[in-house]
Amino acid sequence: MSSLRRVSRFFSLVKFSHTIFALPFALLGFFLATLDHGVLSLGKLLLVLGCMVFARSAAMAFNRYLDRHIDRRNPRTAVREIPAGAISATAARNFVLLNCALFLACAGLLNPLCLALAPVALAVILGYSYTKRFTYLCHFVLGLGLALAPVGAYLAVTASWALLPVLYGAVVLLWVSGFDIIYALQDEEFDRREELYSIPVQLGTVGALRLGRILHLLCAAALVYALYFQHQFYPEFGWLTVVAGALFLSLLAYQHSLVRPGDLSRVNLAFFTTNGLASVAFGLISILDIYV
């Protein structure tokens, strides 16, 4: 097997393209920190990007490694790299260890606080993979893992806490938890047969969709408050951020029009395309607003 083909299989294993969900919020946290700190460091930016990529790769690969036997029994996931035999379980485990080590190295190069908190972050993002075995709150643990992105990026620059990146973390927590519940609808019957835990298993399709809407309404409220707070204390932001927020919320509402009880044919469109566009548009337009 060529090296390029082998690398591409690992990119597929960790769904590298899905890094786009949390990355724009991490970048926003980083640039907020540069406003407070007054210095834009390319080195720190590269280390923050490294932390994001390595942490998410470790988390996704570990999830695939831990769930390999479950995935083999699920027709939807049986084609994934490990159950399909494209990547061995041992190779996947070693890939997890490598990415954890690289994440810790990047965190250590940032500052002592990031290094001290890095094992906590790993505990959350790796621990998520176990949660479907014992709690319906697994979706919220996933949301928490991604919510660390804007907070961690801010800490990387300032080594101190601030309210605004925490508010954006709350936005991400509610947003990701809501759309993960929608995505989990695809496996409702399988999870029930396997005695796995999820909101769709607990509440059914209608209840899960209703809870997803409630979480996204709370996400919208959190985002509006974060934008209000931001405009009060960060004069660098102007009307572009308002546009970014409106676009994010419009796409949030749109995804709920795509999925209905009895029709899950557009779940992937709601999950991947819509949420990816929402995150990229909000993050990049907000960052652009700083310099415009």
Centroid of chain to Cα 84: 25
pLDDT at 12: 73
Measured N-to-C along each axis, helices 112-131 and 89-110 cross at an angle, to the nearest 10 degrees, of 150
pLDDT at 16: 63
pLDDT at 112: 97
For residues 120-138, one letter each, b for 16 or more C-beta atoms within 10 angstroms of the residue's C-beta and e for the rest, the string is ebbebbbebbebbeeebbb
Q: Which residue type, as a one-letter code, is found at position 105? A: A
How do residues 1-13 score in pLDDT, each as one tens digit?
567 777 778 877 7
Distance CA 153, CA 24 (A): 11
Mean pLDDT of the chain: 93
What is residue 263's DSSP assignment?
B
Residue 227 tokens read as: 């934008």
Domain locations along the chain: 3-291
| Total-model pTM | 0.95
Mean of pLDDT values over 15-21: 73
Residue 217 tokens read as: 């309404």
The domain 3-291 having CATH identifier 1.10.357.140: the answer here is yes
pLDDT at 66: 97
What is residue 273's DSSP assignment?
I
pLDDT at 280: 93
Share of the chain above pLDDT 90, in %: 83
Lowest-pLDDT range, 11-15, 55-59, 84-88, 234-238?
A: 11-15
How do residues 73-102 score in pLDDT, each as one tens digit?
999 999 999 999 999 999 999 999 999 999
pLDDT at 272: 80
Is the pLDDT confidence value at 180 over 80?
A: yes
Region for 85 from its dihedrals, namely left if φ exceeds 0, alpha if ψ lies in -120 to 50, beta otherwise: left
Mean of pLDDT values over 131-159: 97
How do residues 149-177 score in pLDDT, each as one tens digit?
999 999 999 999 999 999 999 999 999 99
Q: 3-state class of 260 per DSSP?
A: strand
Centroid of chain to Cα 165: 15
